[in-house]
Amino acid sequence: MGLLAPSWAGSAVADATGDAGYLRALLDAEAALTRAQATLGLAPKSAAAAVTAAAGEPHRHDPRTLALRARAAGNPVVPLVADLTAAVADRDPRAAAYVHRGATSQDILDTATMLVCARALDTVLTDLGRTADALRRTAARHRDTPMAGRTLTQHAVPTTFGLKAAGWRHLVLDAHDRLRSVRAALPAQLGGAAGTLAAFHAYAEAESGSVPAPDLGARLLAAYAAETGLAEPLLPWHTVRTPVADLAGALACAAGALGKLAADVLTLSRTEIGELAEGSGGGSSAMPHKANPVRATLIAAAARQVPALAAVLYGSLAAEDERPAGAWHAEWQPLRDALRLVGGAARDAAELTAELRVHPHRMRHNLDATGGLVVTERLVAALTALTGRGEARRILDAASRRTVEEGIELSEALRTARHRDTTLEAALPEARLRQLLDPAGHMGSAGALVDRALERTVHTPQEPV
């Protein structure tokens, strides 16, 4: 239920990846297999109808009971097949023989997992799209809103909040595109006991009395993929775990992209900075005044967990033989956890960005916090043209030290330097000095970069499975 996982509790992805969601996917995978065989004449159409009908009643199966019985075989498919076979027999005794015929447990569980992933990713992609749309509006609105650019935690040079928001959006779209690509490539799984599809050939030969065509398994694989709505794999991938590894990488990328947004919101919403605030911050059990950035906190928590889960999934690439002991089993829960964490983070990001409050006056106030030091880069460039680079650095280094040590404005320190140097005073009149000290005048290509970034569009995902 997610009592200790508020980051994904109550999300659509939590439902899609829950035990009930997995049960539905397992039953869908079994029904699709019988329908695919019926398409090729390997099973009666009446059997496909009976299996599909029985599989359409997930309420007849108790996930907890299946989980306990799964310990005997090491996976939940074995007890589910027994129960589904009995349910089909109640409808059509002759159809019961076609339940799970020719398949192995991994075929069904892998296919069901891909169905679960596809359904979960459809929700994630929608939420990432909502996040990108909100950030597009924010970046456009604050295209020219000045703020302090920070490097290594310190004020560096001025930037704009529009450029920061455009960067967040760019990351979100990177994550969206990677997940969309992975989503489109999620494959069905069908290989039989050792990836040769031999059982299907054996059943076909036994029933027809003749050796089937060598491409029977390949044609069945194509039909199965079509029935599930998943991609057709080139080969059975029992121990060729690229689909899972690719998904792991895309999920880790998405978590990190959203984590960057969250990290910035957490920093900029600190009381002493106050440049941003969540639209509806969370309360405290002890301090009535608190409005905590809860959504950003939950996103940040997810971003710290998903890479470790992805590492487990990458580790399962090293799977022995034609079907592995342990490597496959190790994927199940980490993959579900990663989907849930990214799904919850995407939901929270969509809500956070839609309600994010921006405080330009605080941004301007903080820009002035260093007494003008934030524009020294610009001043060096301007003075270099007048005095040479070495002398420009000497003047600015001395003025900067005075600003910090005496707590004065940089403008005052530079005016003192001008009074002591008539050449500098003539070359740098008061009006020009005021112009150079204005942070809004040192934005470079920030506005143009925002415009360029916002030309990138969101590609919608394919139709849901």
Question: From first to last of its 465 residues, what are the pLDDT tens digits of the chain?
Answer: 777 888 888 899 999 999 999 999 999 999 999 999 999 999 999 999 999 999 999 999 999 999 999 999 999 999 999 999 999 999 999 999 999 999 999 999 999 999 999 999 999 999 999 999 999 999 999 999 999 999 999 999 999 999 999 999 999 999 999 999 999 999 999 999 999 999 999 999 999 899 999 999 999 999 999 999 999 999 999 999 999 999 999 999 999 999 999 999 999 999 999 999 998 766 555 555 667 899 999 999 999 999 999 999 999 999 999 999 999 999 999 999 999 999 999 999 999 999 999 999 999 999 999 999 999 999 999 989 888 899 889 889 999 999 999 999 999 998 888 777 776 777 778 888 899 999 999 999 999 999 999 999 987 655 556
88-130 pLDDT tens trace: 999 999 999 999 999 999 999 999 999 999 999 999 999 999 9
Give the whole-angstrom CA distance, residue 112 versus residue 189: 9
Say how many Å lie between the first and final Cα of the chain, rounded: 24
For the chain, the three-class secondary structure string (H helix, E strand, C coil) is CCCCCCCCCCCHHHHHHCHHHHHHHHHHHHHHHHHHHHHCCCCCHHHHHHHHHHHCCHHHCCHHHHHHHHCCCCCCHHHHHHHHHHHHHHHCCCHHHHCCCCCCHHHHHHHHHHHHHHHHHHHHHHHHHHHHHHHHHHHHHCCCCEEEEEECCEEEEEEEHHHHHHHHHHHHHHHHHHHHHHHHHCECCCCCCCCCCHHHHHHHHHHHCCCCCCCHHHHHHHHHHHHHCCECCCCCCCCCCHHHHHHHHHHHHHHHHHHHHHHHHHHHCCCCCCCEECCCCECCCCCCCCCECHHHHHHHHHHHHHHHHHHHHHHCCCCCCCCCCCCCHHHHHHHHHHHHHHHHHHHHHHHHHHHCEECHHHHHHHHHHHCCHHHHHHHHHHHHHHHCHHHHHHHHHHHHHHHHHHCCCHHHHHHHHHHHCHHHHHHCCHHHHHHHCCHHHCCCCHHHHHHHHCCCCCCCCCCCC
**CA–CA separation, 184 and 27 (whole Å):** 22
- The CA distance from 298 to 291, in Å, is 15
- Answer for the pair 339, 123: CB distance below 8 angstroms, yes or no: no
CA 144 to chain centre: 29
Q: What is the pLDDT of residue 8?
A: 84
How many beta carbons lie within 10 A of that of residue 26, not counting itself? 26
Instruction: Assess contact for 355 and 277: CB atoms under 8 A.
Output: no
Give pLDDT tens digits for 363-387.
999 999 999 999 999 999 998 988 8
pLDDT at 289: 60
Q: Report the C-alpha gap between 233 and 288 in whole angstroms.
A: 56
Side chain identity at 384, as an amino acid letter? Answer: T
Residue 464: what pLDDT? 54
Placement of tokens 């060598």 in the chain: 214
Catalytic residues: 284, 323
Return d(Cα 169, Cα 129) in angstroms, integer.
10
User: How far, in Å, are 8, 151, 410, 440 from residue 364 at the CA level?
Assistant: 36, 18, 17, 9
Q: Taking the CA atoms of the chain, what radius of gyration do you get in angstroms?
A: 31
Beta-sheet pairing, 146-151 with 154-160: antiparallel
- Report the C-alpha gap between 306 and 179 in whole angstroms: 14
CB 180 within 8 A of CB 128: no
318-349 pLDDT per residue, tens? 999 999 999 999 999 999 999 999 999 999 99
Phi, psi of 372 (to 5 degrees): 105, -5
